[in-house]
Structure 1
Amino acid sequence: MSAPRPTSADFPHHHRVTTRWTDNDCYGHVNNAIYYQYFDSVINAYLIAEGQLDIHRGDVVGFIVRSECDFFAPVAYPGEVDIGVAVVKLGNSSVTYETGLFKPGAPDACAVGRMVHVFVDTATQRPVAIPASIRAALAQLVRPG
């Protein structure tokens, strides 16, 4: 038996995204590849705002090394979506996120993603320990259990 699909309440961080004209595909809904852009953008916006990640001049950046998504219901332009983010594993140099895409006000996810960031030294491109400010921000998103 598969695990129950997470709901909006399972995500400690939410950010609203406006869909764009170019997000729709020929079937009239947001193309599945765009969901990854939403997830990545919301995660990085959180790390910049809450963890002081400096994507332009910092010594450390996060690389997505794994991503996957389960799709349950379509969304389309024009519209808005809520992106939920939770941390399900916080390691030394990596973090595993679970992300959810929701229609505003709806408890059930239209899509659920999983992404892994590995933090690397910008000069060497080798994994490094997650900096303290970023770790503290990520710790706020850890889902209990």
Structure 2
Amino acid sequence: MTRPQPWPRQSFPYLHPTPTRWADNDVYGHINNVTYYAYFDTAVNALLLARGVLDIHSGATIGLVVETGCTYFAAASFPEVLHVGVRVAQLGNSSVRYELAVFQADNDTACAQGHFVHVYVDRETRRPVPLPANLRAVLEGLHGTSP
């Protein structure tokens, strides 16, 4: 298996500033691997909230994460402000595959990168539904450039 190369910062149309917290470090002195998934989730949902296409309290449609993965290249640690890049890699009828990358302030290549897939479902039935038009329009604007 060939190890992927870190993605460049400029290939992401959206960057979410993410301050690290004391609790993010593990006993080895760097951000624990599981924390990167929280950074990914926060960046995507903050973006969708800011663009007005996610109502976490009463929206009829919600996104459920059904797949996720991450590759690590360099250690980050508290205290740092990281930037999480978000781009859309694939857009389906009821799903979207996001590619995400974490950048340290002084580096234009990712210290960690990964993906997750949201399947959009009806809040009540939890059955897949087509992406709402306003959400699809935002997601279409998030196609980045692949390295």
The TM-score range, normalised by the shorter chain, is over 0.9
Residue of structure 2 in register with 1:91 after alignment: 92
Task: Percent identity, please.
Answer: 46
Contact 2:76–2:104 (CA under 8 A) maintained in structure 1: yes
The runs of 5 or more residues in structure 2 that have no matched partner are none
> Could you tell me how far apart the structure 1 residues matched to 2:53 and 2:71 are?
30
SS at match of 1:28: coil
Residue of structure 1 in register with 2:72 after alignment: 71
Aligned residue-pair number: 145
Residue of structure 1 in register with 2:33 after alignment: 32
Q: Which amino acid in 1 is paired with 2:28?
A: Y
Residue of structure 1 in register with 2:19 after alignment: 18
Contact 1:51–1:136 (CA under 8 A) maintained in structure 2: no
**1:96/1:46 CA distance change after superposition, 3 Å:** same
Contact 2:9–2:103 (CA under 8 A) maintained in structure 1: yes
Residue of structure 2 in register with 1:104 after alignment: 105
TM-score (normalizing by structure 2) = 0.94
SS at match of 2:144: coil
Contact 1:51–1:137 (CA under 8 A) maintained in structure 2: no
Give the Å deviation of 1:48.
1.3
The runs of 5 or more residues in structure 1 that have no matched partner are none
Q: Which amino acid in 2 is paired with 1:130?
A: L
TM-score (normalizing by structure 1) = 0.95
Residue of structure 1 in register with 2:134 after alignment: 133
CA RMSD of aligned residues (A): 1.3
